[in-house]
Structure 1
Amino acid sequence: MARIIFFAVLFMMSGVEVYAQSCCATGAVAACTGSASSLESFRKNTLGLRWVRAPFESQLAEEPAFTDKFHLAELFGRYHFNKRLSVSARLPYRWNVRQTGNETEVLDGLADIRLMGHYNLVDSKGKKARTLLNAALGIKLPTGRYVKDIGYRDLPGNFNLGTGNYALLLQASLLHQWKNFGLNLSANYQLNGKSNDDYQYGDQTVASALFFFEKKLGKDLHLMPLAGATWEHFAVNYKASGNLAEGSGGEGLFGQLGLGLKARDWQLAGTFFLPLAQSYADDQIKANERISLELTRFF
């Protein structure tokens, strides 16, 4: 059981990312999705803290160069009613920093809260193999600060801490483990409603495939490296006038390397995201390497 729980939470991190423009788009799908999937691990409650850093930079020669750094600190938890049904919540705090020459613009504060309900459709266990198929449905609440006229500050709509709208969250994941090896496949979709000023954020899709291996270092000590890839797609945004919002939309493919260390009921894990291919805002914006760190307590 401890082994499966270990796999679970590390996969939650991998979604972070899955957190691409999620930081940038102030509400990506899995973003900081601490919400991938797990096997029987979903039967144990969790509480944790997560930190994510996702930098972007401009690629326009005719305009002043800028660098955006999106940071997120998040409290997350999961509670299980039984072997199949569980609920989760994510309480994020963001601080977004844009630097243009010697000028720095900062927005920080509470972001949009996410609530999810999870159900294990398949949960099988053999002598050497284990498989779990999990589906989830949730909602994103407009709890983060949303500045309607942020464009007058020469900042994009995606720089907002919140999106000012409700969104439907859909998730599905398949995890298969054979002995100490495993594969996790996950997909996430966020269907955005209009903001309170009729600004329309584009829908978001994230999919990932991760391979992992577990090494037991002691009675209560486990080490697990993982490697894989994450693809993300963000539809373009539209202003209340119906015109396309410049600097929005795009997609990217990221390679992932992660490492987790679990000691009894505590786990520390980190994930590194390397851009492999990308096209954001018609190639006007470049995504750089991302990092996520997570500390989790099981109870």
Structure 2
Amino acid sequence: MKNIVTFFLVITFQFGFATEIDSLDLNPFLKLPQFSNSLLEDCDACGCSASGGSMGFASMLNTNFIGIRYFNQSYKSTDGLYSNSPWYNENFNTLQLWARIPVVKRVQISALIPYHFHNRETNSGTQNISGLGDITVLGMYQLYQTHKDSTLFIHSLQAGAGLKIPVGKFDATNNGSVNPSYQVGTGSWDYLLAAEYVIRRQKLGLNTLLNYVIKTENDKYYQFGNQFNYAGTFFYLLKRDAYSIVPQLGFAGELYESNYQLGQKVRNTSGDIFLGKIGFEVGKDKLSLGANVMLPIAQNLTGGNVEANYRWSLNFNYSL
């Protein structure tokens, strides 16, 4: 995994510091670099309190917007007690109100308000849970951006911090299950640190992201492990009459530290996953529609007792 991150960083900075003059004819939606649909999942390994499901905090097309998004995450799990222990399907569904709004010059605020409805198979039948999830607020400050007429490459660097508010219900009875992330909320106040670097040359661009989530103990004395995320997304701007289309191709990775209960480490709760992703966004006037699919390339979740199948999302936004 370290080799993958190193390769990603080397490619990013080699591409970033070339010296030609930019001729990009920007779409009105693309006046500022955006978060790709790729990162900042504050879900704990699967669907509990998922705000982004590694699908991102903002749109490639909309600089500032309000919208609605649906995303689905499919997993399977087993208790692993025997070599022939059965595997059960788990589905994490989220309907989310999301927005990105300018506050002052160089500062933007993103907000996510999710509603979760999850289901999973058990040896006694299907289990369903639903409810309002944890609300996430993230502020980003633009540290640097090149001028369009001064270089062939446009660079942008942003950094920021955020907060996850424990609105969603945390059910302590799920702690002992194979997948303790089967929740609609963590019950804890969590803190986010994020950085984004974007480079564009003409119609081709690369969006790279790093994110770290610091998680705290909830009032049930349970603490989900801290989480590190990284991602890279190549995108290309196509114009067809009044429409703008942005196909996207990239990857995302997530690393989870161990959970703690009553101050003691919970075994088989750490892990990592590396995913490939493909998607697109299409926009006309102030409206845009986006779709995204992510498939696992390599993974090791909860000691191999949980496996990700796929993730996908749809979103519909109105530009402010």
State if a TM-score over 0.5 links the two structures. Answer: yes
CA RMSD of aligned residues (A): 2.4
Change (3 A) 1:22 1:222: farther
Is 1:132 matched with 2:156? yes
Q: TM-score, normalised by structure 1?
A: 0.88
Q: Give the match for residue 316 of structure 2.
A: 295
Change (3 A) 1:70 1:157: same
How many pairs are equivalent?
A: 289
Is 1:210 matched with 2:210? no
Q: Give the match for residue 278 of structure 1.
A: 299
Change (3 A) 1:261 1:291: same
Contact 2:189 2:216 in 1 (8 A): yes
Name the CA distance, whole Å, in 2 between partners of 1:105 and 1:56.
14
Identity rate, percent: 25
Unaligned runs of 5+ in 2: 1-26
Deviation (angstroms), 1:25: 3.9
CA deviations over 1:180-237 (Å, ceiling 9, x no partner): 000011011110010112111100111001111111001x311111111101111121
Is 1:93 matched with 2:115? yes
- Paired residues for 1:182-261 under 5 Å: 182-218=205-241, 220-240=242-262, 242-246=264-268, 248-261=269-282
Describe the SS at the equivalent of 1:282.
Answer: helix
Unaligned runs of 5+ in 1: none
- Paired residues for 1:132-211 under 5 Å: 132-151=156-175, 154=177, 156-211=179-234
Q: TM-score, normalised by structure 2?
A: 0.83
Change (3 A) 1:207 1:157: same
Name the CA distance, whole Å, in 1 between partners of 2:54 and 2:130.
17
Name the CA distance, whole Å, in 1 between partners of 2:304 and 2:266.
16
Contact 1:256 1:271 in 2 (8 A): yes
Deviation (angstroms), 1:78: 1.6
Contact 2:33 2:198 in 1 (8 A): no
Deviation (angstroms), 1:281: 0.8
Amino acid at match of 1:236: S
